[in-house]
Structure 1
Amino acid sequence: MKNELTYDTQDLWEKDRDHIIHPWIDLGTARTREPLIVAEAEGAYVTNSEGHRMLDGMGGMWCVNVGYGREEMAQAIADQARRMCYFSPFGMISTPPSIEFGAKLAEYAPGDLRHVFFTTGGSTAVDSAIRFVQFYFNFVGQPEKKHIITREHAYHGSTYLTASVSGKPGDRGNLNFVTDIVHHLPAPNPYRRPDGMSEAEFCDAKVADLESKILELGPENVACFIAEPILASGGVIVPPEGYHRRTLEVCRKYDVLYISDEVVTGFGRLGQVFASEPVFDLVPDIITCAKGLTSGYVPLGAVMISDRLYGRLTGPEAEGKMFANGFTYSAHPVACAAGLKSLEIIEKEDLCGHVREIGPYFVERLRSLLDLPIVGDVRGSHLMVCIEYVTDKKTKEPMPAEWDIGQRIINETMPRGLLVRPMGHLVVMSPPLIITRVQIDELVETLRASTLAVMDRLVKEGLWRG
C-alpha cells in the first residue's frame, strides 16, 4: 500500500484521550495510556501511525479473513455505494445484494438452515436469534419456554441480553445482567478437567451438566442452549471430541433449540465456511455469524434459521403476527455486496483448503512453545489458537492478574513486528486466512523471543523464580 499521508501521532493520542471512549478499556488508565493507532494495512500486516509494520496475529478481531487492502473488496463496496448505497430494509423491501447473499449463504449452511435474517454484527445476530426463539415458542403456544442455557467463559455479544448470556468472568463487573432466565454451565475446558479424569469421562460430565440443568429447570421451561463450537475470546476452549453432537442429542430429547454461535468459527477460520457440521458433526436449529462474513470490511451479521422452525411461522395462522425485530442497517446493501465479494474470494482462492492445509502447521509450530516453563497450554484448531501462561506447569496455576502477563507479552511482540491479542494470562491468535508458512514461522519465533524476555523481566522483578 502506497499512501502519501503522514500522521501526527502525538496529536492523535491527545484527541483520542480527550474524545474517544474505547470498548473494554481500563478506565483507570484512560487519560494516560497511549493507544496503538493502526493507520494502514495490507495483506497480513498492519502499520501504525509512526510507520512501524507488524504481522497481524489477531486478524483485526478474528475477522479480516481475506486480508487487508484487497482491491476487489474496495471496488465491490464502491460500486454498490454508487449504484444504491442504502434503502430501508423494513417490511417487504429488499435489495439485490441482500437477496443474492442470502441465497449464497443458504448453499453453505448445513441441513435445512435456508433462511437468513441480516443484522449489523455478531452481538445483534445473537440477540436476534434469542428473540426469535422467544417469538417462536410464544407463537406455537409454549410461552413458558423462556430459559436460556449457556456456558461460563462464553462470549456472545455486548447487548444487554447477549452480555447476560456471555460468561467471561472479567466482563461481569459493574454492570447489570438478565439473571432470572439465563443459566451458565461450567466451561468444557479439557485443560482444566480434574486430575485423573480422562477426556472421555470429562465429556460425559459436561454433557451431563446440560441434561441435569434442563431437568432441574423443567424441559417445558427451557427454550434454547447456545454454544460457540470453540469458545473464542473465553480462551479458545475446544470441547472434548463428541461434545457438540451429544449436547445436540440432549437438546433434541427435551425439545430445546440449539443455537450454534459461529461468529468467530465461520467463513474459513476452521477450514470451512460453516464449521458446525463438517468439523463438529452438528446440524443446529440456528446459526449466528458475523466477523468473517464480510472479512471485517463492513459491519454485518446474520442469523441462519431452519426450515423446520421458520416453516411453522409462515402459514395462514401467522397472518397479522409480526417478528418485531430489526435494525436500520439490517441487510445493508453495501455490506451485503462486501459479503458476496469476500465469499467469492474465499471460494476463488480456496482459502478454506489453504486453512485446512496450513492450520495444523500453525498449531504444531505454536505447540513448540510448550518447552517454555511458563507456557502451560497451547490449544485451538487451525487458525484459532490460544497460549495459556502459568506460574507452574504441574499445578496449572494461572499467572496472577496483577502481573498483566498478556500485556507484557504484547509489549515485547510489537517492537519485534507482531500483534497478538492479550487477555489476562492468555494470548490469542487468529491471523488472516492468507497467512503463509514463512509468516507462521515469523510469528512463532517472535513469540518465543518475547516470552523469554518476559520471563527474564519477571525474574528480575522478583515475581517469579524461574
Structure 2
Amino acid sequence: MTGQSESIKSIDATNVLHPYTDLNSLREQGPFIVERGEGIYVYDDNGNKYIEATGALWYAALGFGENELVEAAIAQMRKLPCYHTFYQKSTAPVALLAERLVSMAPGNMSRAFFTNSGSEAIDSAIKTVWYYNNSRGLTAKKKFIARHRAYHGVTIASCSLTGIERNHLEFDLPLPFVRHVTCPHFYREGLEGETESEFCDRLIAEIEQTIIEEGADTVAAFIAEPVMAAGGVVVPPERYFEKLMPVLKRHDILMIADEVVCGFGRTGQMFGSQTFGIDPDIVIVAKALSSGYLPIASLLVSEDICDGIADQSKNLGSYNHGFTYSGHPVSSAVALRNLELYEERNLMEHVNDMIPLFRERLKATAELPLVGEARGVGLIGGIELVADKTTRQPFDPARKIGLKCSGMAENAGIIIRPMGDALALCPPLIIKEDEINQLFDGLEATIRKLGNEL
C-alpha cells in the first residue's frame, strides 16, 4: 500500500459519512478503497482483484470500464454539459431516451419523467399518484400497499414504502399512508403443511382483505419489485402477480412496478414485469439504465395518468414537480448509449445463454451444509445460510453470519452483499461462463470454510 492510499483512507475515515455504514467501524478500520475496474472485476488500492458479484449496488450491467459509455459522456460534455427540462425546455438526449424507454417498457407507458435515483423516482410516483387521483376527484384515495422486506428507497416517503425495519428505526418512519402485507417468501413465510400454491392464494386474499378493511376508496396503489432484491432476493410464488392483477383492477388500484433492480435484463427478459406477468400503470427504472455510470432514473407513466396530469395542469398552470437535474443531458446521453449497446451487442441473447449455468451453479449451493435455500431467476440469486437445514432455523442475528461470510469471500477475491444471512448475487450481465464458474467455485469454498469454523 502506498503512502498516498494510506492518506486517502485516513481522509475518508475522517471526512466521509458513508451510507449504511457503522461509523465506529469506519473510524477503527478505515474504508475499502476501490481504485479501478475492468469487466466484472474491481481492484483495490493494493492491486488486489475482486469479482464484483453484486454489480456494485445491483447496477453495473455492462461491467466496469466500458469505454463506449465514457465516450458518450465526453461527447455530450463537450457539446452541452448541463441543462434542464423545466418550462418546456429539453435536449436531444432526453427526448431520445424518453422515446426509447416508452417504446420498450411493459404496459401502456406514455411518458418518462427523469430523476437522479430510484428513491427520487419512487417519491415522484407517490406524488404523481396523489396528483392523478385528485384530478379524478378521488381525494381520499391516497394509501399505498407495499410488502414487508421490500426495499423502495430511503427518502422519507419512499422509505415509508420500504418494509425493512432497520431502515425505519430512529428515523420516525414509516409515514401513516402505507400498509405492509406479507413478504411472498414461501421458504420463510409458508405455514406448516401449506403448499406454495396455497401460500400464494393466502397472500392474495390478505391483500384483498387489507384493501377492504382500509376501504378501496382510500387505497391508491400497490407497489412491488418483480423480484424482491434487497429483501433477500425473494422470488414470488408462481402466478402471484397473475392472481394479484385482477384484485387491483377490481378495486381501481394502480400497480407500480419497481424495476430499479430487475429492469434491463436481470431476469432474462428486458423487464421483470414481463417475466412475472405484471401489467403496470407506472414503472420505475434506474441502476442498469446507465449501468451506474452516471446517476439517472425514470418514472414511466401510462396514458391515463398523463391525461390526469394534463387535466390538473389546466387548473394549476403546470405539473409542479421536478428536480434540478431531471433529465441531465450527460446522464441521458450515457443511458441512451447504454441501451443502444444492449441492442448492438445482443446482450439479452448473451444473458439467456449464461442463465442455465448460473442457475445450475446456484442450485448446487443448496447442497452445502450451511445453505437452507438457493433461489433466483435470470442472473440474480440469493443464498440463505441457516443454522439447521432440516428445521430452517436461522442463525442468531447477533452472530452476523452473513457479514462474516461476505468478509471471508472478500478475502478470497469475491465481493458479495449480505442481507442478514442471505447472500445476494447480481453480477454484471456481461459475465462469461468461466467467470460464473470462478464465482461459484470461490463462493462454495468460502461457505464450506465458514461451516468448518462454526
Contact 2:211 2:219 in 1 (8 A): yes
Q: 2:214 aligns with which of 213, 217, 220?
A: 217
Deviations 1:371-427 (A, max 9, x none): 211100111111111111000012211122222112211222222221111222111
User: Hey, what does 1:31 align to over in structure 2?
Assistant: 27
Inter-partner Cα distance in structure 1 for 2:291 and 2:28: 32
Inter-partner Cα distance in structure 1 for 2:126 and 2:76: 31
Q: Give the aligned residue type for 2:330.
A: V
Q: Per the alignment, in what secondary structure is the counterpart of residue 30 of structure 1?
A: helix
Matches within 5 A, 1:15-414: 15-192=11-188, 193-276=190-273, 278-315=274-311, 318-414=314-410
Inter-partner Cα distance in structure 2 for 1:290 and 1:156: 12
Contact 1:66 1:434 in 2 (8 A): yes
Q: Per the alignment, in what secondary structure is the counterpart of residue 331 of structure 2?
A: helix
Cα deviation for residue 33 of structure 1 reads 2.3
Matches within 5 A, 1:431-450: 431-450=427-446
Inter-partner Cα distance in structure 1 for 2:87 and 2:293: 27
User: Hey, what does 1:463 align to over in structure 2?
Assistant: none
Inter-partner Cα distance in structure 2 for 1:169 and 1:85: 40
Q: 2:448 aligns with which of 449, 452, 460?
A: 452
Q: 1:403 to 1:178 in 2, by over 3 A?
A: closer
Cα deviation for residue 108 of structure 1 reads 0.5
Q: Give the aligned residue type for 1:170.
A: R
User: Hey, what does 1:462 align to over in structure 2?
Assistant: none
Deviations 1:104-141 (A, max 9, x none): 11110123112101111110011101110011111111
Contact 1:386 1:426 in 2 (8 A): yes
Cα deviation for residue 354 of structure 1 reads 1.6
Inter-partner Cα distance in structure 2 for 1:321 and 1:259: 27
Q: Give the aligned residue type for 2:231.
A: G
Inter-partner Cα distance in structure 1 for 2:71 and 2:399: 46
Contact 2:55 2:428 in 1 (8 A): yes
Contact 1:236 1:386 in 2 (8 A): yes
Q: Per the alignment, in what secondary structure is the counterpart of residue 376 of structure 2?
A: strand
* Larger displacement relative to structure 2 (399-408 or 97-106): 399-408
Contact 1:286 1:304 in 2 (8 A): yes
Inter-partner Cα distance in structure 1 for 2:73 and 2:46: 28
Q: TM-score, normalised by structure 2?
A: 0.97
Cα deviation for residue 316 of structure 1 reads 9.0
Q: Per the alignment, in what secondary structure is the counterpart of residue 114 of structure 2?
A: strand
Q: Give the aligned residue type for 1:389.
A: L
Runs of at least 5 residues in structure 1 that lack an aligned partner in the other structure: 459-466
Inter-partner Cα distance in structure 2 for 1:167 and 1:140: 29
Cα deviation for residue 66 of structure 1 reads 1.0
Runs of at least 5 residues in structure 2 that lack an aligned partner in the other structure: none
Deviations 1:302-334 (A, max 9, x none): 011001221233259825343222111100100
Alignment RMSD (CA, Å): 1.5
Inter-partner Cα distance in structure 1 for 2:264 and 2:254: 23
Cα deviation for residue 144 of structure 1 reads 0.3
Q: Does 1:9 align with 2:13?
A: no
Contact 1:237 1:380 in 2 (8 A): yes
Inter-partner Cα distance in structure 1 for 2:168 and 2:307: 38
Inter-partner Cα distance in structure 2 for 1:263 and 1:128: 14
Cα deviation for residue 281 of structure 1 reads 1.4
Q: Give the aligned residue type for 1:237.
A: V
Q: Per the alignment, in what secondary structure is the counterpart of residue 77 of structure 2?
A: helix
Q: Per the alignment, in what secondary structure is the counterpart of residue 117 of structure 1?
A: strand
Inter-partner Cα distance in structure 2 for 1:317 and 1:432: 41
* Larger displacement relative to structure 2 (65-74 or 28-37): 28-37
Q: 1:14 to 1:139 in 2, by over 3 A?
A: same
Inter-partner Cα distance in structure 2 for 1:271 and 1:452: 30
Task: Give aligned pairs, total.
Answer: 453
Inter-partner Cα distance in structure 2 for 1:214 and 1:59: 37
Contact 2:17 2:23 in 1 (8 A): no
Q: 1:423 to 1:275 in 2, by over 3 A?
A: closer
Inter-partner Cα distance in structure 1 for 2:331 and 2:138: 36
Q: 1:280 to 1:7 in 2, by over 3 A?
A: farther
- Provide the identity percentage: 37
User: Hey, what does 1:418 align to over in structure 2?
Assistant: 414
Inter-partner Cα distance in structure 1 for 2:330 and 2:93: 8
Q: 1:53 to 1:317 in 2, by over 3 A?
A: closer
Q: Give the aligned residue type for 2:229.
A: A
Q: Give the aligned residue type for 2:393.
A: E
Q: Per the alignment, in what secondary structure is the counterpart of residue 411 of structure 1?
A: helix
* Larger displacement relative to structure 2 (92-101 or 192-201): 192-201
Contact 2:102 2:111 in 1 (8 A): yes
Inter-partner Cα distance in structure 2 for 1:330 and 1:224: 24
Contact 1:386 1:428 in 2 (8 A): yes
Q: Per the alignment, in what secondary structure is the counterpart of residue 256 of structure 2?
A: strand
Q: Give the aligned residue type for 2:253.
A: V
Q: TM-score, normalised by structure 1?
A: 0.94
* Larger displacement relative to structure 2 (318-327 or 131-140): 318-327
Contact 1:263 1:288 in 2 (8 A): yes
Deviations 1:206-254 (A, max 9, x none): 1111100000000001011100111110001111111112212111000
Inter-partner Cα distance in structure 2 for 1:33 and 1:173: 25
Q: Per the alignment, in what secondary structure is the counterpart of residue 386 of structure 2?
A: strand
Contact 2:84 2:327 in 1 (8 A): no
Q: 1:125 to 1:74 in 2, by over 3 A?
A: same
Cα deviation for residue 292 of structure 1 reads 0.4
Q: Give the aligned residue type for 1:396.
A: R
Q: Give the aligned residue type for 2:47.
A: G
